[in-house]
């Protein structure tokens, strides 16, 4: 949780980023721009300099005159006779200053140059002296035998080098881009649920969405790196299928990876990210600027492709408030363990889009801040504040009680101003266990009228990283989706009684019951690029109404990455 983060949140313990949204680009790539190099680069930064500094230097190698000077070479070693001949007869083997030969490690170019130079010097001396030992007949015979013995191996090596040269030339002429890399993720979900009866607006509906269906979500991300400090992210998305039928009786059944675009390709992200200094990063763009993409996730497995299955269990719902339109944000690493993120964005798809960057009469706007703390390298804490305006009475979370005020029947407007507060804690108790949870609270005022609406949501979770093998994940999530706990808006504008009883002229009140969300899943890593996630979700008292039937959802999610 250190270092400025200006790409998508990374995953997760042992995972690349995992803070992804089903409505934004999802690719397993590091958030730290300093580590986001798109190709092998010359030694231009501290990390590369450190790596280069670890290469042994030829300057520290010294000539030895006897093989006995090499402390790590023993008479029982298989190459002892060869070393003895080269050292004592030709004097062209050098050792390290600590009198070691290090015969079991790979030969560097520096070491080869040093050894070759010593042998060339010795040959020059022999030629100048004109001695009889310059080249004995038995030496030439030995060389010929060696050449014949290793002829097949030399031919294979020559073929491999030729093949590598051909492949390198092909890559140079056919590569996608020298500055842009393409990442992709494909999610295929097969899910089904039981038929349930749900009360809505005073009527009893039978949910006919109990047929097994398929949801697909395809996301492509183009990372264009202009330098080691800046990049442009372009995200494309297309999806089909949804977890509910023609009649949406409750959004409690929404899954984290569904984003039905009718298979039309949409731009989900168009943002520029730049690292200033070593501790401050900025982001600005025309699409994809939101709290999910700018804030760091305290729960490191919040990913639509690799994390929880449901929309609710992805993250604290208050972080979904607002949209993913135009805006700007920042990420400031104040100390090695404390960071601050902020974001401002305008308009979301559910609201009129004629408000521009700074809102206006109809535009929805959102400003948010998050303070993240990493304590003892084992506890991640995120504290959130959100200030948002919506002209239609929606929070925009798509989870639980999202519609807070009934619109005016003549203008279809219900402008609300919302302040939201929340916090998430994740404690890595052990390598195989993480315990965490969150709480979120919102308070909204209906503009032009007196009255206020309050909601509350909470979640507790257990994550079991590497359960049954590296890259696997087991998890259990239990919580309450956002629930209206108080509403005293003018008569006819309150939601709770209308939703449960159909009473349009309902007065103040709260929801009559409490929804409990229980979710369990197991992500199995089939290969580096394929993961399977079976899971089950049980929703007690949907829509916060005790009269509604329990809904059970079974899911098998398959995630492909490339």
- DSSP assignment of 293-327: HHSPPSSTT--TTTS-SBSGGGS-GGGG-S-SSSE
Angle ∠(217,222,228) on CA atoms, nearest 5: 140
**Separation CA 320–CA 349 (nearest Å):** 13
Q: Rounded to a whole number, what is the distance in angstroms from the first to the last CA of the chain?
A: 25
Residue 380, beta-bridge partner list: 374, 426
Do residues 474 and 522 make contact, with C-beta atoms less than 8 angstroms apart? yes
Say what angle helices 151-174 and 137-149 make with each other, to 10 degrees. 50
* Torsion sign (Cα): 240, 244, 247, 250: negative
Pairing of strands 551-561, 327-335: unpaired
Measured in whole angstroms, the distance separating CA 444 from the mean position of its chain's CA atoms is 32
Tell me, what's the pLDDT at 553?
Answer: 92
Angle ∠(115,120,125) on CA atoms, nearest 5: 130
**Separation CA 517–CA 481 (nearest Å):** 7
What DSSP element (H or E) covers 139?
Answer: helix 137-149
Of the candidates 387, 386, 392, the residue with the CA atom closest to the CA atom of residue 361: 392
Q: How far is CA 335 from CA 343, 372, 374, in A?
A: 20, 11, 10
Q: What are the start-end ranges of the H helices in 456-516?
A: 496-501
Of the candidates 553, 556, 554, the residue with the CA atom closest to the CA atom of residue 252: 553
Q: 174 exposed, middle or buried (CB, 10 Å; 0-12, 13-18, 19+)?
A: exposed
Angle ∠(454,304,267) on CA atoms, nearest 5: 95
With b for 16 or more beta-carbon neighbours within 10 A and e for fewer, the 183-203 pattern comes to bebbbbbebebeebebbbeee
Measured in whole angstroms, the distance separating CA 371 from the mean position of its chain's CA atoms is 19
* Torsion sign (Cα): 74, 75, 77, 79: positive
- Please state the φ and ψ torsions of residue 319, each to the nearest 5 degrees: -80, -10
**Would you give per-residue pLDDT tens digits along the chain (562 residues)?**
545 544 333 333 333 333 333 333 333 323 333 333 333 333 333 333 223 333 344 444 556 667 777 778 777 777 777 777 777 777 777 677 777 877 777 777 777 777 777 777 777 777 766 655 556 677 777 777 777 777 887 788 888 888 888 888 777 666 667 678 889 999 999 998 888 888 777 677 776 666 788 999 999 999 998 888 999 999 999 999 887 654 467 888 999 999 888 889 999 999 999 999 989 999 999 998 999 999 998 998 988 999 999 999 999 999 999 777 789 999 999 999 999 999 999 864 444 433 444 444 446 889 999 999 999 989 999 999 999 998 888 888 889 999 888 887 777 788 999 999 999 999 999 999 999 999 999 999 998 888 899 999 999 999 999 999 999 999 999 999 999 999 888 887 888 877 776 666 767 888 888 999 999 999 999 999 999 999 999 999 998 988 889 999 999 999 999 9
Do residues 188 and 214 make contact, with C-beta atoms less than 8 angstroms apart? yes
- For residue 238, what are its two tokens? 């297309």
């Amino acid at each position: 949780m250190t270092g400025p983060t200006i790409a998508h949140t990374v995953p997760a313990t042992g995972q690349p980023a995992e803070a992804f949204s089903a409505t934004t680009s999802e690719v397993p790539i590091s958030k730290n721009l300093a580590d986001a190099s798109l190709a092998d680069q010359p030694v231009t930064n501290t990390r590369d300099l450190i790596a280069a500094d670890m290469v042994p230097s030829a300057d520290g190698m010294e000539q030895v005159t006897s093989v006995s000077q090499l402390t790590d070479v023993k008479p029982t070693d298989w190459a002892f006779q060869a070393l003895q001949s080269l050292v004592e007869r030709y004097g062209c083997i050098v050792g390290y200053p600590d009198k070691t030969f290090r015969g079991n490690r790979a030969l560097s170019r520096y070491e080869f140059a040093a050894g070759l130079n010593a042998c060339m010097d010795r040959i020059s001396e022999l030629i100048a002296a004109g001695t009889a030992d310059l080249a004995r007949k038995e030496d030439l015979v030995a060389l010929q035998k060696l050449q014949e013995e290793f002829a097949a191996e030399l031919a294979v090596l020559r073929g491999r080098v030729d093949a590598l040269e051909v492949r390198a030339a092909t890559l140079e002429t056919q590569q996608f881009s020298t500055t842009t890399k393409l990442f992709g993720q494909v999610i295929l979900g097969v899910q089904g649920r039981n038929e349930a009866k749900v009360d809505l607006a005073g009527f009893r509906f039978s949910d006919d969405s109990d047929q097994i269906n398929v949801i697909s979500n395809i996301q492509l991300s183009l990372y264009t790196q202009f330098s080691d400090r800046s990049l442009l992210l372009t995200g494309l998305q297309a999806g089909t299928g949804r977890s509910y039928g023609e009649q949406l009786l409750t959004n409690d059944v929404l899954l984290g990876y569904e984003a039905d675009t009718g298979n039309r390709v949409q731009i989900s992200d168009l943002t520029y990210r730049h690292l200033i200094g070593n501790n401050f990063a900025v982001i600005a763009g025309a699409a994809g600027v939101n709290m999910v993409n700018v804030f760091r996730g305290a729960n490191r497995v919040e990913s639509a492709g690799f994390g929880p299955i449901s929309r609710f269990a992805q993250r604290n719902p208050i972080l979904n408030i607002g949209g993913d339109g135009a805006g700007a944000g920042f990420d400031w690493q104040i100390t090695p363990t404390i960071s601050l993120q902020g974001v401002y964005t305008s308009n979301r798809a559910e609201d009129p889009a004629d408000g521009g960057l700074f809102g206006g009469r109809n535009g929805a706007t959102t400003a948010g801040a998050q303070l993240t703390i990493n304590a003892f390298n084992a506890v991640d804490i995120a504290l959130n504040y959100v200030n948002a305006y919506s002209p239609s009475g929606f929070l925009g979370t798509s989870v639980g009680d999202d519609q807070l005020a009934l619109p005016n029947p003549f203008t279809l407007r219900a402008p609300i101003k919302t302040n939201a507060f929340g916090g998430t804690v994740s404690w890595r108790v052990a390598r195989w266990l993480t315990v965490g949870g969150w709480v979120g609270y919102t308070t909204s005022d209906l503009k032009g009228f007196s009255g206020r609406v309050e909601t509350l949501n909470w979640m507790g979770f257990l994550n079991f990283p590497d359960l049954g093998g590296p890259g696997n994940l087991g998890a259990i999530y239990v919580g309450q989706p956002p629930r209206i706990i108080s509403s005293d808006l003018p008569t006819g504008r309150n939601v709770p009684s209308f939703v449960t009883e159909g009473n349009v002229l309902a007065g103040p009140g709260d929801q009559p019951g409490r929804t409990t969300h229980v979710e369990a899943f197991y992500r199995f890593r089939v290969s580096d690029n394929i993961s399977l996630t079976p899971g089950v979700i049980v929703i007690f008292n949907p829509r916060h109404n005790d009269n509604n039937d329990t809904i059970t959802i079974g899911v098998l999610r398959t995630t492909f990455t490339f």
